[in-house]
């Protein structure tokens, strides 16, 4: 009786294992392989076409945002499309900071750095958290975020709600642990099964760069001191740092964009960066509400100060004509599709002013590969998204990357940084191409000379060895 029961149990176990393998294999074949740039067509369809619309319909904007951050842990890992793999979409800035692709997540989505690893797995080349304040502050009272659904925009007046630097530092320490290679033998069997079924487990090593966006506390009367302390505390965990002087929701913050204030602030923050064990690139984020004359003046100042980069742009307090949503009259910063054209204009202007010598990160209304392509051509080296995630879902980044690759292929381009960035500025673009060609020729010449020197040295060494080896024979011959 016991033997019969044991035999039945073994048979049931074998059937369960075989059945499970068939189910897993079917899921792998039907959802992963044909994805073409989306980590899984099935998973993304579920998230983008079902879950995200349901959240918009049932949850208020702020609650939906919090839920989305919590659910990011379930996101599967992005797989580059076949089109993208034919191209070089990597971007290298500041000599040694390498972005695997130009699409990043803008500050504001993950203010406190609670889901960096999970968000990077969606396919972002980099993620920017913040704005982080030195001390915790709740921000403005709710409601403080509004969806302009008909206009595909967002108005927020959060007011730098932040857990504070101490709490964020702990999250950054946890994130950095995910970037160390893990011994495959140490992964538990249940994690291996989870990775196979849903490729986005925490046990996988996370790639991607991290930017930390810094802001001042609402009640602070010493903004430079705030920024310097934040750089000292959070700088060691960042790949780049951003001074936010352009949010419209903190009283007096935009006054820091005036030439008299900005010069001292940037210089003081640069000094703080130089004191880090490993110096980090410092960027400044500007407002789209600055006039063209003001942008020109600021661009000239930042050139003189040798700032590492500029982010264009933050949200706008203006309300472009044509908005139809009932929420258009709410106070706060407007982002999303209504901001797209102005942010691109700012990129084009600053690229021209700086002659392409300062890297620009473009943000504002990027929802498609074409939107990203426009900003890159205008002069952005990288682009960021935020509001589009609310309308398109987490699969948007995969779609943007695939569409961008398609546009490059159609235009006969193979290297994004060399052939796409700044191509709207014909004179600057061809001047850069000439310099790149000259640099390559110089490197090739140097390589050839080095190879010839090595060959000559090798030949000389061989002759000397031959001479040394032959000498005893000659002496022996004379002795005979």
| Catalytic residue chosen out of the listed positions 247, 287, 335, 398 | 247
Token pair, residue 19, equals 């059945």
The pair of structure tokens assigned to 133 is 């304040």
Query: Distance between CA atoms of 200 and 196, rounded to whole angstroms?
Result: 9
Kindly give the residue spans of alpha helices, DSSP state H, lying in 77-219. 116-120, 165-177, 189-197
Residue indicated by tokens 């495959």: 184
CA nearest to 69, candidates 117, 103, 101, 37: 117
User: For the purposes of burial, counting CB atoms within 10 Å of the CB of 406, is it exposed (0-12), middle (13-18) or buried (19 or more)?
Assistant: middle
Cα distance between residue 441 and residue 319, in whole Å: 51
Report helix angle 189-197 to 2-27, nearest 10: 40
Residue 147 host element (H or E): strand 145-148
CA angle 396, 397, 403 (to 5 degrees): 85
3-class SS of residue 91: strand
| CB 241 within 8 Å of CB 212 | yes
Is 247 tagged catalytic? yes
Please name the helix (run of DSSP H) or strand (run of DSSP E) that holds residue 369, with its range, or none. Answer: helix 369-378
**Closest by Cα among 107, 285, 127 to 206:** 127
Q: Which residues are catalytic?
A: 247
């Amino acid at each position: 009786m016991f033997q019969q029961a044991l035999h039945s149990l073994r048979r049931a176990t074998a059937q369960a294992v075989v059945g499970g393998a068939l189910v897993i294999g079917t899921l792998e074949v039907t959802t992963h392989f044909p994805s073409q740039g989306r980590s899984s067509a099935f998973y993304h369809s579920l998230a983008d076409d079902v879950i995200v619309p349901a959240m918009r319909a049932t949850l208020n904007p702020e609650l939906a945002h919090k839920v989305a951050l919590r659910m990011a842990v379930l996101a599967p890992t992005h797989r580059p499309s076949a089109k993208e793999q034919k191209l070089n979409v990597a971007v290298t800035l500041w000599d040694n900071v390498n972005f695997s692709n130009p699409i990043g997540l803008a500050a504001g989505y993950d203010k406190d750095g609670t889901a960096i690893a999970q968000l990077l797995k969606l396919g972002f080349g980099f993620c920017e958290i913040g704005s982080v304040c030195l001390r915790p502050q709740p921000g403005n009272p709710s409601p403080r975020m509004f969806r302009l659904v008909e206009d595909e925009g967002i108005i927020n007046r959060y007011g730098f709600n932040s857990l504070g630097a101490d709490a964020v530092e702990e999250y950054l320490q946890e994130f950095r642990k995910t970037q160390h290679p893990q011994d495959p033998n140490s992964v538990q069997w249940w994690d291996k099964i989870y990775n196979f079924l849903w490729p986005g487990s925490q046990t996988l090593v996370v790639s991607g760069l991290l930017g930390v966006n810094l802001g001042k506390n609402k009640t602070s009367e010493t903004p430079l001191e705030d920024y310097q302390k934040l750089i000292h505390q959070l700088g060691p965990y960042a790949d780049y740092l951003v001074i936010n002087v352009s949010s419209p929701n903190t009283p007096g913050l935009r006054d820091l964009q005036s030439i008299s204030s900005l010069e001292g602030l940037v210089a003081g923050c640069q000094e703080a960066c130089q004191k880090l064990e490993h110096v980090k690139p410092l960027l400044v984020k500007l407002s789209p509400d600055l006039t063209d004359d003001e942008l020109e003046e600021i661009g000239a100042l930042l050139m003189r100060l040798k700032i590492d980069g500029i982010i264009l742009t933050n949200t706008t307090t203006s309300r472009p004509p044509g908005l139809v949503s009932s929420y258009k009259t709410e106070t706060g910063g407007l982002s999303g599709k209504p901001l797209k054209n102005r942010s691109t204009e700012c990129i084009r202007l600053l690229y021209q002013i700086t002659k392409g010598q300062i890297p620009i990160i473009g943000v504002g209304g990027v929802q498609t590969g074409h939107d990203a392509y426009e900003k890159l051509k205008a002069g952005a080296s990288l682009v960021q998204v935020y509001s589009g995630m609310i309308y398109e879902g987490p699969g948007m980044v995969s779609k943007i990357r695939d569409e961008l690759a398609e546009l490059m292929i159609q235009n006969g381009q193979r290297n994004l940084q060399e052939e796409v960035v700044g191509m709207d500025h014909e004179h600057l673009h061809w001047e850069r191409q000439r310099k790149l060609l000259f640099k390559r020729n110089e490197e090739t010449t140097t390589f050839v000379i080095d190879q010839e020197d090595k060959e000559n040295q090798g030949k000389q060494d061989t002759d000397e060895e031959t001479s040394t080896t032959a000498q005893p024979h000659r002496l022996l011959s004379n002795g005979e």
